[in-house]
Structure 1
Amino acid sequence: MEFDIKQLGFGTDARAPWAADPWSSRGRLVAEPASPTRSEFQRDRDRIIHTTAFRRLKHKTQVFVAHEGDHYRTRLTHTIEVAQIARALARALKLDEDLAEGVALVHDFGHTPFGHTGEDALADLMADAGGFDHNAQSLRIVTKLEQRYAEFDGLNLSWETLEGLVKHNGPLIVEGGKPVPEPITHYNRCHDLWLESHSSLEAQVAAIADDIAYNTHDIDDGLRSGLITLDMLEELPLISRLMSQVRQRYPKLEEPRLIHEIMRRQITEMVEDVIGVAQANILAIKPASADEVRHAGRTMAHFSDEFVAADRHIKTFLYTHLYRHPDVMRVRAAATRIVQDLFAAFMAEPSAMGEKHRHVGIEDLPETMRARKVRDYLAGMTDTYAIAAHRRLFDHTPELR
């Protein structure tokens, strides 16, 4: 039986004029027939979930290495949490929830093993070969490195999803700004993503959802680890106020429930703050289309001044007490050594990267191009795979605990 989901009016009345319209997408690099059952953004979301890169997030570190405990967040659990918050924001603002979710689900694809430690190490190693940027690497994964489909490399995602991926933190071409990473400029030559404009509101809510998720959940993981205590959180005005509210209402609440009640209230207050700010910006700018959002000249989904200050306090607190804690720094040093050792080994002997790399002439490439091949391979590793590879190639592998 033939049918067209648009005839059902699915979602068309729910989206506001400023939302991205999946039925009027700017299309894909390689043209494909439309699906009779799913919108373009639903198809993107589904393709993202079924990738190898998505599955690998399960074994990539958020803050702590995976084998320190099963209850700490990984890149995968963090990504799912970001997607949930992004959908909630999108629904409140009458945006396309599938696009917001898709951008949230793909936003961490390019992260290396060992979290930001691996990214910093790889950026240093690639300093003379184009550097390393996890957003640019995410784009490479979904446009080149995932090789699953018969007719194209990558996932052939829609323009709107790719735009949201590379610009969810704002325009990339700005006066006095950083140079645009080469993988993004290379792709942009054949598929212009409007690097000088802001992104859709769907991508903007995915970006702020990322901040909300890791601010809250890194505190939660820090408390689980014992590196942060509830008493230490008293120096954060927002968290202190929430702790007082919970303790006043539930004076005998045991600590695990107390922590959860604080975290859920933190997420709620931050989400509601963003909704209020975005609604005020929409009323002030009155965008009649998603393109008017892109050309508004500023981000429309962001924190109020009060919560910008709270966000800054939380980030400072986390850097001081968690990310730079001596125990974490010791693990970071060990993880950095693993990345450095593997990079050097693969540069010297590309065949060590496995059968796929034995007969493609990598060793004959100029050093810069060889380094980029090694970058792609190393960035795709999970924590567990990187540790296993190091143990296979070296006599001693640092302990990450």
Structure 2
Amino acid sequence: MQRDRNQIIQAENSLLASYAVRQDETGARVYPEEEHPYRIPLQRDRDRVVHSSAFKRLQYKTQVFVYSVGENYRNRLTHTLEVAGISRTMATALGLNSLLAETIALAHDLGHTPFGHAGQDMLSDLMKDFGGFEHNKQSLRIVTILETRYPSFPGLNLCEETIKGMMKHGAEYSGSNLGQKRKEEGPTLEAQCADVADEIAYTSHDIDDGLEMGYLKLGELKDLSLWSDAVRKIKEEYPDLSEKVFIRSVIRELTNGMVSNMIRTIESRIHDWKISTREDLNLHYQEGKRIATYEPEYGEKVRELKSFLYKTLYRHPSVVVTSDRGRDIIESLFFHFRKQPESIPETYRQRIGSEGLERCVCDFVAGMTDRYAEEIAHSIGFKTQIH
């Protein structure tokens, strides 16, 4: 029997906790649309993100290692998919709106630049006198302005709760009514799950990629509490694994441990803080209490692991070389298109009068894949080969 949207919403809402975002309370879209007969609003949001051009380009954007070093390493798209999976797992276990958590996760890196954080840092420097640049805000620009897929509106016209969920804590969204609402209401628990899922995903998979690349060594990890705990458990259960399967089993245990600890802590605080409504969540948020955190001792172990990754992997000489090269490419492209705006595609160029040349150049460069940025830089005389 086919169910209509109201029946689907009713069934979905029956699974939600009292403090979750209900399927029929996702907020209006900026541009009114007729509801779909059998697809609920957040289903449409998720699909719009997945079908967007920016989402598809993530497959050729750097996570840690640029695409040219090999095909077995995470890129920005595979990272996003891992974040989405963890977000949905956490939300489902906690009785939250898993569609909302998943959609926020799928959209969270749409605005990331080529060459990872190095590209973001360079664009931030270049745009410091022109309104700045931050990839989370760029993700919002993409879903509200830059995507051109629909005849009736710019962007993706996502639901209010999806847009608010993409807004990060501490960021300034001046001139935005939704930004003010996000500040007043605080983040939903679904948005917090997507946020911590990002950290869990990259902490685990960057170790996997770092070991496979040879930039990390097993001997360097043995003194880290979180890693040694996972190793001990896997060796007890599976004493005769090959090294490759052993490493992947430990990393899987690491991921499961972080997810499980986070779920337990959130559930415990919901009980201890007597949270029964979204208003209760916001009250604690306004008091500076964050519900989505690890247990204190476990959190120290996570911070130890992240500090190790920063010093050993993210600051590895070979990673620094490619990052610096990426920064140089971004800088070269920015100044090239600033001098020759006629080379910018019309979809970007048409906003120069209203938003300024630098912002339009920034939008164009930020949207490039690593590969396309290298090709364009090469065409203007920049030696771009990254090893």
Please say if residues 204 and 299 of structure 1, whose CA atoms lie closer than 8 Å, have aligned partners that are also in contact.
no
User: Identity of counterpart residues, as a percentage?
Assistant: 40
Asked if the contact 1:126/1:132 (under 8 Å) is kept, the reply is yes
- Deviation digits for residues 56-106 of structure 1, max 9, x if unmatched? 111000000011110100010000000000010001100111000000000
Q: CA deviation at 1:53?
A: 0.7
**Would you say 1:300 and 2:291 are equivalent positions?**
yes
Partner of 2:219: 231
Within a 5 Å distance, the mapping from 1:269-348 to structure 2 comes to 269-297=257-285, 298-348=289-339
How far is the alpha carbon of 1:245 from its aligned partner? Answer: 2.5
Q: Contact (CA 8 Å) 1:19, 1:94: kept in 2 or not? A: yes
Alignment of 1:86-235 (within 5 A): 86-167=87-168, 170=169, 172=171, 180=172, 184-186=173-175, 188-189=176-177, 192-235=180-223
Corresponding residue number in structure 2 for 1:381:
368
Cα displacement (A) at 1:302? 1.7
The residue type equivalent to 2:356 in the other structure is M
Query: How far 1:171 sits from its partner (Å)?
Result: 5.2
Compared with structure 1, are the counterparts of its residues 190 and 236 closer, same or farther at alpha carbon in structure 2 (3 Å cutoff)? Answer: closer
Taking the aligned partners of 2:133 and 2:326, their CA distance within structure 1 comes to: 17
* Kept after mapping to 2: 8 A contact 1:89/1:275: yes
Measure, in 1, the Cα distance between the counterparts of 2:293 and 2:351: 48
How far is 1:5 from its partner?
3.1
- 1:371 has 2:362 as partner: no
Deviation of 1:332 after TM superposition, in Å, equals: 1.1
In structure 2, runs of 5+ residues without a counterpart are none
What is the one-letter code of the residue matched to 1:325? H
The residue number in structure 1 matching 2:19 is: 18
Whether contact under 8 Å (1:19, 1:290) holds in the other structure is: yes
Provide Cα deviations, 1:129-163, integer angstroms capped at 9, x if missing partner: 11111111010000000111111111111110001
Residue 175 of structure 1 corresponds to: none
2:81 corresponds to = 80
CA distance in 2, matches of 1:132, 1:287: 36
CA contact (8 A) 1:171 1:199 kept: no
Taking only aligned residues, the RMSD between alpha carbons, in angstroms, comes to 2.0
**Which amino acid is 2:30 matched to?**
L
Q: Give the direction of change, closer, same or farther, for the CA distance of 1:381–1:199 in structure 2 (3 Å limit).
A: same
Query: Are 2:96 and 2:190, in contact at CA under 8 Å, matched by a contact in 1?
Result: yes
Aligned residue number for residue 383 of structure 2: 397
TM-score (normalised: structure 2) = 0.94
Give the residue type in structure 1 aligned to 2:379.
R
* Aligned residues of 2:378 and 2:384 also touching (Cα < 8 A): no
For residues 223-274 of structure 1, the C-alpha deviation after alignment (integer angstroms, 9 at most, x for no partner) is 0100001111012111012112223433331111011110110111111101
Residue pair 2:348, 2:360 contacting (<8 A) in 1 also: no
- Pairing 1:251–2:252 present: no
TM-score normalised according to structure 1 size: 0.91
- Give, as a single letter, the amino acid of the residue that structure 1 aligns with 2:54: A
* Alpha-carbon distance between aligned partners in 1 of 2:232 and 2:220, rounded to the nearest angstrom: 14
User: Which residue pairs with 1:176 in the alignment?
Assistant: none
Amino acid at match of 1:159: E
Amino acid at match of 2:264: G
Q: Does the 8 A contact of 1:60 with 1:113 survive in 2?
A: yes
Aligned to 1:177: none
AA matched with 1:6 = N
| C-alpha contact 1:171 1:197 (8 A) present in aligned 2 | no
Q: Distance in 2 between matches of 1:113 and 1:329?
A: 15
**Mapped pair 1:7 → 2:7:** yes
Mark the runs of 5 or more structure 1 residues left unpaired by the alignment.
173-179
Comparing 152-161 with 303-312, greater Cα deviation is found at 303-312
Contact 2:348 2:364 in 1 (8 A): no
The amino acid across from 1:370 in the alignment is: L
Shift of 1:375: 0.6
Q: Distance in 1 between matches of 2:143 and 2:132?
A: 19
